[in-house]
Structure 1
Amino acid sequence: LRTGRSPEALATTLPPSADRFWVDLPEERARGRGWSEPLPTAEGIGPRDPIAVSGRDWAGEAYSYVFLLGQERVNVGGAPDPEPAGRRRGRRKSERDETADQPADIRRRVQIAARTLDFQTFEIRTRSPDGYGLAWTPFTPGGRGTPPTPAPVADEAGKPIASSCPAPAFETHGLAGSISIVDRTYHYVYTDVLPEDCGLAPEKRRTALYLRTSQDLSAAKVWSAAKKLAAPLPPGSVVRVARAKGMQRWAVSYTCQRPANAPGGPVADICLQYTPDMDLDGIGALTLYADPVEAGRSPAYLGLRSGGDGTGRYDRSAHFWMTDAQGNLDTPAIYPGKAGLLTWLDRLAPTASGRDASTLYGRPVYWATWTVRRIGAQ
């Protein structure tokens, strides 16, 4: 987890800084054909997509929590069989042998967590020595010793918060989202693959928007059962939800494509809509995408133009926005009239060094603000 202090720093590649904590998960992709050198270890499948939010400060809790997405292996002995059990009997021996030869590194995303008092030192959510209970294990800074092995965050039934569909290590999807506190309740809104699409190739799996709630992030069983808010959404959709700044509405930002008749044509952008009130069902009532949904096009695009590869192509990856400690929209004091401050990374923009060893690290990060005005009686 790396931190910045000024809005100006958001306009450039993030500067080097000390890692606050890390956990012992695989980090390096195997070297493929044609590579003259290994990929950097940072280009890996370690924990990502951090969400920081305050603990129950209304009850005197001093901790803040950081939720991240890790990956766990599924069926280490071989890839899961996508066929229903009733269809296996008639398969030929050659088909069974081909399945057995598939790669074994199949994974599923899981949510893990850490807590901190000062964002300098952290404790990792782990299992107690008996393997069943919950413990918070301090992380020793400076790379000394073996880092703790995180335990997945559990729901009210005691099941790990895990993505719906297994996939090869670098093709997993699901659980990325945001956490917002409203009326002393934590609202975790995220996308995940529709279970009925698990048999499709990872890049073709449609997603849905889900909601889980919690009253206490330190509990052994943190989140409620998942409630579907909206579906279907395009494959790989990323959606953020938070209470709007200064309004009793939900703000919803999401990855999208501009319509074909928009300036610049159908290029990647970020879309933004507001609900009419704080009713959670209003999130699902929004029309996020035009038909056909798989195209990901929406008239609610922001028209972001920064970055790109010089040929008119843009990428808007890992977008997020500035929030207060409770995960709701806020802006720097120098922008009091703005409704929000949005950040995103462009994987297509050139790196400062000119090297393309990573599609993620070293790419420029951009930011923008937006304003909202009332129209008619809305």
Structure 2
Amino acid sequence: MTSESALQWLRLSMVHGIGPMLGRRLLAAIGGIEALWSATGDELRAVDGMGQQLVASLSSTHLSQAEQIVKQCAAQQIGILCPDDARWPVALANVEDAPLILFYRGDPVCLSHLPMLAMVGARRASREGRVLTRRWSRYFTAHDIAIVSGMAFGIDAAAHAGALEEQGITIAVLGCGLLALTEEQQRQVEAIAERGCVISEFLPAQSARPEHFPRRNRVIAGLAQATVVMEADIRSGSLITARLAGEYGRDVFAVPGSVLADNHAGCHRLIRDGAILLERAEELLVQLGLHADKTTQLHAGKQYHPADAEEAGILMAMRGEAVHLDLLAETCGLTLPELSPILLRLELQGVIERLPGSRYLLATELSDT
């Protein structure tokens, strides 16, 4: 059931023109959410930023409107959190522009899990970027780190997928209401809610708009102890998340890439501006003061022992980067007819992954024995 306090916070969040910062300033001056609705016009106008138009907007927002939203949420199994709730995310407690209300599906206790890491990046991410994100997400999750992202295509989807594959906690922050989703997105919500939580500050039926995503990004940045930008071009919204994370006093990491690829330019700018360069997942654990468990492999599955010296040479050539078929053949001294069946066998075994453009990437850890 929704508490009376949450109902009042919801009512405040529905007042047109009053955002999170003004809302909190207003409550601090008036004496809290309970005293707000009985305050006089003079008391309201005395608060910095509260003009006559906003006072009128506040008085015209009725409790019945919030009650209607509460009924809608109850019918759709959507929970509501307010800052007075004991389950309100601990990390958002001192963020002055944190939402006034959060709608959720899943377990809200997950929202205060520590540590928590935001993994963000391009929607149109490269295959390598998605593979690396999923792999690192599994690794971080295996070290009991909750993964936060925005449930968008590309890097976000890979981050959530990696956490779910490891049966860990993942949190999705939406740029629309929980009822304004496509059928595919609803399936994603159901999967994430089983192991974590999906949240939104937007009314359930509110559709996504461009201006919603910077607001969503601030919640991602505020929730997480650190943010890592996996892959992003110079215009990516992930740079907004990184900037906000820095303003909130959180660590910001960026993964470098080829200078020839525009989809890494945003990460390179972040590094120039002071973000921590991240080349290996283990480095992030060190930076956060966590100890990497040496028994936890970065790559999924068991270590692979090459069948012969020829296989070993091929796999060694892929360590650390995706390699084109022609370069592999040249490096290993094999003709394409000799190399192709070996690559096919390794791909079917899940040892390597084939990428667009006839490139191959190592997908597991090689045995040292």
Say which one has the larger Rg. 2
- TM exceeding 0.5: no
Q: Which has the higher strand share?
A: 1
Superposition TM-score, scaled by structure 1 size: 0.25
